[in-house]
Homo-oligomer: A and B are copies of this chain.
C-alpha cells in the first residue's frame, strides 16, 4: 500500500517591505527608509503560508543552525550561507543563579556563536545570503567591531568582496579579528555614529550592499532567531523575562518580534514576557529616556569600555523603549567598573568568558534583581552576545596574576602557601 505524500508547500513566505509608521509598501529591494514617512522599512510575511510550512517537528528535523527557521527569514535561496551559525547553548544556570538568588535563570550563550563568536553572525548570515540574491558582489558595514569580524569572515567564506568601516579606537582583538580575513578595512577617526553617517553617504554612490544600512530590513531579521531558539530550547515555551543589551535597540525588538511570530503561527502558547534592557552608563541614551519617561531618545557622545554597544544615536531606540514599557520591563545602566565585575562574575560562576557587552548585561541583571525588579521565580533568560577574547584590554589589570615559579617542587610549594595566605586574607576581609 502506498500513501500519497502530503504536499509540502515551499512558497515564498516574505512578500514585501513596509514602513514601520504608516504602512507604506515597497518591493523587496535594498531599501531601508520610507521616502514618505522617513520611518524604517521592515520585512512583511505571509503568516498563513508560514503556518502551512512549519511545525515543531519540521523545525526539529532541520539543520542545527539558524536555517532551521528559514521560513521566518527573508531569503529565497535553497542553499543559504550556512557556516553553523546559531543554535548556541541555552545554559541552565546553577552557580550564578544561586549567587544572585534566582531560581530559574538561563544563559543564552552567543559568546560561542559561529564563526566569529558573537550574535552578529546571525544577522550577517541572513544579510549576505540576501545580498547575493539581490546581485551584490561587494558587501560592507559600519561596525563597532563584532559586525566587522562577522562580515569579513562570512564574506571570505562566500567569496564576496568586502569593505568594512570601524571607529579607529577599537579594541586590538576586533581589528586583528577583521584583518585576518583580508577585507579592505577603513578605520575612521570618529565614533560609531560618525562612521555610520559616512557609510550612508558611501552607500548612496557605490552600489555596495551595506548589511546594516541598505540591507538593514533583511539583516536585522536575523536577530529573531535569538527568540526562536530560546523558545525551542525551553521546550517550546516562552520565558517570563528576558534581559538583553541595547546598542541600536534592534536586537531587543527583534527578539520580541520572534516570540510574537511563534505565538502567531501556533508554535508556542501566548505569554506575557517582560523585556529588560542593559546599557553602559557611558552610553545610555535609551536608559536615560526610560528613566525620564520620555518616548524619544536624545543622542549622547559615547564614553565607555563597552564599545560594541556604544551607539550614541540608536536607530531603534524608541522602539526598544516601547517594548520595555509595554511588557512591564526595565532599562538600566551600569558603570564601567560594574561591567568588569559582571564579566568576572559570569566567568567565575559559569565558566563563560564574555566581552564588555555581556558584562553590562550581567551587571544589569544583578542590579535589577537587587532592586526587586526581577522575581526570583521568574523564568529569566539573559542574553550573552559576544566573546571576551575580543576585549581583553577591558579586564587586564582587574583580574589576578599568575605566580611565577621555578620548575621545582619547593618553588611551587612556596607559591601555593602564598596563594592560600592571600585567600585567607581575602576571606577575612569579606567576613569582618
Contacts and interface: CB of A to CB of B under 8 A. Distances in A.
A186 interface: yes
A76 interface: no
Interface residues of A, number: 79
State how many copies of this chain the complex holds: 2
A176 B115 contact: no
Given A84-B89, A89-B114, A396-B176, A416 B184 contact: yes
A64 B168 CA distance: 40
Of A64, A351, A388, the most chain B CB neighbours within 10 A belong to A351
Given A177-B353, A188-B406, A112 B89 contact: no
Contacts of A399: 176, 179-180, 182
Contact of A159 (B95, B177, B403): B95
A168 B347 contact: no
A201 interface: yes
Given A112-B114, A168-B402, A181-B353, 4 more contacts: A83-B91, A84-B91, A89-B114, A197-B407
A53 to B, nearest CB: 23
A185 B403 contact: yes
Interface string A177-195: 1011110111111100011
B180 A347 contact: yes
Contacts of A114: 89, 109, 112
A412 B404 CA distance: 48
A228 to B, nearest CB: 16
A220 to B, nearest CB: 21
15 contacts: A64-B64, A84-B89, A115-B352, A153-B347, A153-B351, A153-B352, A181-B347, A184-B419, A186-B403, A186-B412, A186-B415, A187-B405, A197-B407, A198-B408, A389-B390
Contact of A198 (B175, B187, B407): B407
Interface string A330-355: 00000000000001100111111100
Interface string A311-343: 000000000000000000000000000000001
B112 A405 contact: no
Interface in A347-380: 347-353
Contacts of A293: none
A181 to B, nearest CB: 5
A243 interface: no
A197 to B, nearest CB: 7
A180 B116 contact: no
Contacts of A88: 84
A347 B182 contact: yes
A91 B157 CA distance: 11
A315 to B, nearest CB: 18
A211 to B, nearest CB: 15
A195 B407 contact: yes
Contacts of A349: 156
A189 B89 contact: no
A412 B201 CA distance: 10
A409 interface: yes
A34 interface: no
Interface string A108-134: 010010111100000000000000000
A347 B112 CA distance: 18
A95 B153 CA distance: 13
Contacts of A396: 176
